[in-house]
Amino acid sequence: MLKILICFFFVSAAFAQRLPSPQGSYNKGSILFAQQLPLEGEGFMRLFRHRNRGFGSLEILNLIKRTALEMSLRYPMRDRMQLGDIAKMKGGRISRHSSHQNGLDVDIAYFRMNGMEQLPNIFDGFNEDMVINGKISENFDLERNWELMKALHRYGKVQRIFVDEVVKREVCHHAISIGEHDEHVEVLRSLRPFANHKHHMHIRIRCPDTARKCVAQEETAPGSGCELL
Ligand SMILES: [Zn+2]
């Protein structure tokens, strides 16, 4: 009898587990029962830890972990994925961002040729611009950043990746030069030129199917957008 009761207890506890639930929109939203990304894992590390903004949906956390693992296996001994803010524990408005409110956004520093990682708590912001005077920095690891963008699309419902306009132009030229433009139009299409993204890319995933109160953002126009640059 005791065994049955114990068993019943664990089964009920499992069913009662509350899964993260994004609510509202990216710019006016919140998240219920958010989960926290560890400070470090295989292939990633969190920056700005004192801000305590490592909370998000299962989908964004899984996307980060899977992509980071893949990139670390493919490019060992290089700089890991350096993550900025996701969201605060219950989501909602946070300083420095208009979005990052419903646990579906994350910032990632661009990969660097020199493999340097910044210290997680010393500097309150990404510490290296990759676009200087309208030109891409020599320290911008074009190949690895392109591979990262493709990997993100393989593992998650990525809708937008906000980048600097110069970064999109470089990535477009790279994809065209290695014959990957047509195969990866959707990846290129998701790259959205946006101010203040000289040092990091901002990943945004679509509302999870289970999150009925999540407000989706409109899809972007078809095509890679590379012809505009
Ligand atoms: Zn962001």
pLDDT band at 121 (very low <50, low <70, confident <90, very high): confident
Ligand 1: centre distance to CA 15 (Å): 34
pLDDT band at 214 (very low <50, low <70, confident <90, very high): very high
Instruction: Find the domain containing 37 and state its range.
Output: 19-228
Determine if residue 159 is left, alpha or beta; phi over 0 gives left, psi from -120 to 50 gives alpha, anything else beta. alpha
Ligand 1: centre distance to CA 167 (Å): 16
Is the pLDDT score of 13 beyond 80? no
Tell me the average pLDDT across 153-167: 95
User: Considering the domain boundaries, does residue 9 fall inside one?
Assistant: no
User: Considering the domain boundaries, does residue 1 fall inside one?
Assistant: no
Is the pLDDT score of 190 beyond 70? yes
Ligand 1: centre distance to CA 83 (Å): 10
For residues 23 and 62, is the Cβ–Cβ distance under 8 A? no
Tell me the average pLDDT across 182-208: 97
| Model confidence pLDDT, tens digit, residues 50-78 | 999 999 999 999 999 999 999 999 999 99
Is the pLDDT score of 211 beyond 50? yes
Residues in CB range of 195: below 8 A, 6 or more apart:
none
Q: What is the CATH number of the domain that holds 118?
A: 3.30.1380.10
Ligand 1: centre distance to CA 84 (Å): 8
Average pLDDT of the chain to the nearest whole number: 93
Q: For position 20, what pLDDT does the model report?
A: 94
Ligand 1: centre distance to CA 203 (Å): 7
Long-range CB contact pairs, 115-121, < 8 A, 24+: 115/77, 115/78, 115/79, 116/79, 117/45, 117/79, 117/80, 117/82, 118/47, 118/82, 120/39, 120/45, 120/46, 120/47, 120/48, 120/49, 121/47, 121/48, 121/49, 121/50
DSSP for the chain, written as a single string: -HHHHHHHHHHHHHHHPPPPEEEE-SSSEEEES-EEPPSEETTEEES-GGG---EE-HHHHHHHHHHHHHHHHHSTTSPPEEE-----TT----TT-S---SS-EEEEEPPBTT-----TTTSSS----SEETTEE-TTB-HHHHHHHHHHHHHHS-EEEEEE-HHHHHHHHHHHHHTT-TTTTHHHHHHEEE-TT-SSEEEEEEPPPTT-TTB-PPPPPPSS-SGGG-
Number of domains in the chain: 1
User: Considering the domain boundaries, does residue 4 fall inside one?
Assistant: no
Ligand 1: centre distance to CA 1 (Å): 53
* Residues above pLDDT 90, as percent of the chain: 88
Reference 60, options 87, 99, 92, 94; nearest CA is 87
Tell me the average pLDDT across 160-167: 98
Q: For position 117, what pLDDT does the model report?
A: 96
Name the one residue in this structure whose structure tokens are 């340097």.
116
User: Considering the domain boundaries, does residue 23 fall inside one?
Assistant: yes
| Model confidence pLDDT, tens digit, residues 85-107 | 999 999 999 999 999 999 999 99
Tell me the average pLDDT across 116-138: 92
Q: For position 155, what pLDDT does the model report?
A: 87
Ligand 1: centre distance to CA 107 (Å): 5
User: Considering the domain boundaries, does residue 88 fall inside one?
Assistant: yes
User: Considering the domain boundaries, does residue 220 fall inside one?
Assistant: yes
Q: For position 195, what pLDDT does the model report?
A: 95
User: Considering the domain boundaries, does residue 7 fall inside one?
Assistant: no
Is the pLDDT score of 12 beyond 80? no
